[in-house]
Amino acid sequence: MRGVSAPERRYVITFGCPDRTGIIARISGFLAEHGGWIVEAAYHTDPDTGWFFTRQVVRADSLPFEVEVLREKFGAVAASLSAESSWQVSDTGERKRVVILVSKEGHCLYDLLGRVAAGELDVEISAVIANHPDLGDITRAHGIPFHHVAFADRKAEAFEEVRKLVGQHDPHAVVLARFMQILPAELCAEWSGRVLNIHHSFLPSFIGARPYHQAYARGVKLVGATCHYVTADLDAGPIIEQDVIRVDHGDSIADMVRKGRDIEKVTLSRGLRWHLESRVLVHGNRTVVF
């Protein structure tokens, strides 16, 4: 039986700058000058901010240098177009690392573990960190280190412990998979642009405890979920993905909770995939997702 060949190694360039004529020609001309073979290209201009966005995917074997040299050379192009820090070059040959933070609810963790085990999500889950021990067995069953950090009466110390644990892995993404703690502002800043959260989309209509009970009492017809980047503004960071599933008068509260968990799982996995594939460009509090 013939084996499955490894995916072609590619370099992904994401870029944003003030819009003007000649941007695409400048980027494509730079790549053509060095023999770069573009296999994907996407563009968008935001008329409200006058900002241009692009994502370019290039065959790695078409260039005469490695990704570090590409970054150095492309940096000059970015500077000439006033991109400042709004660009990056990533390498699909580097397996992405993810650290997951959880509490007691396991549906999002189970889903991500299953996708990785099945090869559907080609990432390395470097560690799972939890403020409760409940999900330790399932994590260790997948061969992944599990760290229980007690938060009771020691929240500042606990978050410092979490910070150090995450830092050991230098992950490309930190995923709050129903982690029922609010990140302090300093961690939001340190992990800016790589910490993702998932929550139900009843906010701001049904605030506080028992949101599904509140929604049931109001007879809502849609249950949704939002995946977003975490900022110091609670649940108000740039949105990566949202989705909904219908409910009706025949659904119980338990049915609504089950459907809500289903949509949270798929929305989080999509958002994480798009982040790791460098498909999400952030500008202010909005995103462009290619």
Catalytic residues: 235
**3-state SS, one letter per residue, for 109-150:** HHHHHHHHHCCCCCEEEEEEEECCCCCHHHHHHCCCCEEECC
Q: What angle do CA 169, 170, 171 make, to 5 degrees?
A: 90
Q: Residue 122, Cβ neighbours under 10 Å: how many?
A: 13
Query: b/e per residue, 42-74, with b = 16+ CB within 10 A?
Result: eeeeeeeeebbbbbbbbebeebeeebeebbeeb
In the structure encoding, which two tokens stand for residue 38, read together? 């573009």
**Residue 119: both structure tokens together:** 């090869």
CB 113 within 8 A of CB 175: no
CA distance 60 to 32: 13
Please tell me the distance from the alpha carbon of residue 186 to that of residue 162, in angstroms, as a whole number. Answer: 13
Q: Check: CB of residue 129 under 8 Å from CB of residue 165.
A: yes
CA–CA distance, 270 with 5 (Å, rounded to integer): 24
Q: What are the φ/ψ torsions at residue 170 (nearest 5 degrees)?
A: 45, 60
